[in-house]
Structure 1
Amino acid sequence: MELFFRKIGEGKPLVVLHGVFGSSDNLYTVSKNIADLGYAVYTLDARNHGQSPWSDVFDYDVMAADLNDFLNQHDIQNPVILGHSMGGKTVMNFAAKYDNFEKIIVVDIAPRFYPTHHNHILAGLAAIKLDELKSRKDADDIFSQYVSDFGERQFILKNLYRTDDNKFAWRINIPVISKEIYKIGEEITFDRISQKPAMIMRGSDSGYVKEDDFEQFKQSFPNAELVTIEGANHWVHALKPAEFVSNVVRFIKA
């Protein structure tokens, strides 16, 4: 599968992966800020997201394989690889199976199992009937009955777009994501120890990554560090972009 991507800047390669329901747009601002400091930043759309192809197969093994194929297709050697949430688990699974990376950065996610907690989102998406929509406001009015947080709604509704014939369509494969959503929370297991540098970055107000989670991660990545961004929740890059960029660049340079 050939993933859609955007490349910003020139220099040492950094590959960036987004979370579930997201796209390469989500981390574009921080990626551009990093690229401006002298890096080639590749932001990818995962399968079934953004402008990448859709598939009935959707799990961390195939997403890690997609990442490996992308690196091979574009002859990218030993990049730093960063992933947020679902993207972070993809990065961990990639690092458990492949060697083509210099360092990894995992943003606000741990290797452990997470129970499914997206049912309200999926119910809201199912309630939006595309053939009946007159405007994006109509979609937001419907979606707000299921997702109360304005920022969360806007994040997900960015996937709604108008086609060339002025109809509405989704950039996410809702049927497959709905069917396989439990796999997004699956535990990532490591059958080997990697001495390559790794970092987990978490938001102080998130709760996704606990001290025990980091200790588990460090058993497989002894040269790992934990960075906590004060005042940030799960969306570390959106709430604290300056701190996010400075820590990523510091880690890359170390």
Structure 2
Amino acid sequence: MSDALPIDLHYLDQPSDAHADATPMVVIHGLLGSADNWRSQLKVWQASRRVIAVDLRNHGRSPHAEGMSYAQMSADVVALLDKLGLSQVHLVGHSMGGKVAISLARQHPDRVASLVVADIAPVAYQHGHDDVFAALERVREGQPANRREADELLAEHVDSRPTRLFLATNLVRSEQGGLKLRVGLDYIRQDYEAIIGLPSGEAPYNGPTLVLRGDESPYVSDAMLPALREVLPTARVVTLKQAGHWLHADQPEAFQQSVDAFLAAQIS
């Protein structure tokens, strides 16, 4: 692991004037996502507490840097908490962001009031993004002038229209007027083994924990539950119907209601 200092993450900060004393929530996106993906949920949660959504390294508007280990990414988030003066937060993490949240909770349990893990287990996964990486590489090589051209390039490797729309959120306008990737694709691919690997930390996190999984997703199978409970022994596992891996997009109301009910059961 690199000994480099944590990087300064970009983030969206939504204050809640009516509930300024409530424990804030920090939301962490998944692989190739960004804080922007959570804007609709942020507006809902903002009614009850301050909500901060981060862009992890090599994602969104955050800097690109070598190293995608969970120790490094969780250290980046802890540095942001320190910067914002947040001693304790409710953590919500989806997919890769869920492993970042688990890592942070295991390493700094005093900083985590509660933990919500969305459709990921603390296990090592198999390779599953070769087509996605190939599609993004094709866009980088093709230098599309507009989103229609970008979608055609993505479609050479990815059949799913919803997946292509998600990947297209990583495109921004270049100085030359075309579209370019804003993700640190090379760094992500270089450390992909760490991304699909285990979260960091040794001890279990014994604080309040909610694990949400989609009934159409394989990411948190019943076979993984024993390993999950070794790391998150207090976890309550809730399955959302008609939801895949992007369960917060597939069933936004059910997702928000589950998180809201869980947080309401906490002290703050």
Residue 259 (structure 2) pairs with residue 253 (structure 1): no
Report SS of the residue matched to 1:102. strand
Per-residue CA deviations over 1:78-110 (Å, capped at 9, x if unaligned) read 211010000001011111211211111100000
Is the CA contact (8 Å cut-off) linking 2:205 and 2:231 kept in structure 1? yes
Q: Secondary structure at the match of 2:9?
A: coil
> What TM-score, normalized to structure 2?
0.90
Q: Which moved more, 1:230-239 or 1:179-188?
A: 179-188
Alpha-carbon deviation of 1:132? 4.0
132-141 vs 114-123, greater mean Cα deviation? 132-141
Conserved? CA contact 2:140–2:181, under 8 Å: no
Partner of 2:10: 4
Aligned residue pairs, count: 253
Structure 2 unmatched runs, 5+: 1-6
**Residues 6 and 44, structure 1, Cα contact 8 Å, conserved in 2:** yes
**Partner SS state of residue 183, structure 1:** helix
- Quick one: structure 1 residues 190 and 48, their matched pair in 2 at CA, closer, same or farther if it must change by over 3 Å? closer
What SS class does the counterpart of residue 85 from structure 2 fall into?
coil
Alignment of 1:16-31 (within 5 A): 16-31=27-42
Contact 1:194 1:222 in 2 (8 A): yes
C-alpha distance in 2 between matches for 1:212 and 1:129? 38
One-letter amino acid matched to 1:39: R
CA RMSD of aligned residues (A): 1.5
- Tell me whether 1:228 sits opposite 2:234 in the alignment: no
Deviates more, 1:238-247 or 1:214-223: 214-223
Deviates more, 1:157-166 or 1:59-68: 157-166
Contact 1:110-1:217 at 8 Å conserved across structures: yes
Percent of aligned pairs sharing the same letter: 29
Distance in 2, matches of 1:129 and 1:92, equals 33
1:71 partner amino acid = L
What's the offset of the Cα at 1:194? Answer: 3.1
**Stretch moving more, 209-218 or 140-149:** 209-218
- Matched residue, 1:56: 66
Once residues 56 and 159 of structure 1 are traced to their aligned partners in structure 2, the CA distance between those partners, rounded to angstroms, is 19
Once the two structures are superposed, residues 146-187 of structure 1 have per-residue CA deviations (whole angstroms, 9 ceiling, x without a partner) of 000001001011111113442422110111112222221102
| Residue aligning to 1:84 | 94
Q: How does 1:152-231 map to 2 (within 5 A)?
A: 152-188=163-199, 190-231=201-242
**For structure 1, which runs of at least 5 residues remain unmatched after alignment?**
none
How far residue 131 of structure 1 moved from its aligned partner, in angstroms, is: 6.6
- State the 1:203 CA deviation: 0.4
**1:59-80 per-position Cα deviation (integer Å, ceiling 9, x unaligned):** 1110010011011110112211
**Which is worse superposed, 207-216 or 9-18?**
207-216
Q: Judge which range, 26-35 or 60-69, deviates more.
A: 26-35
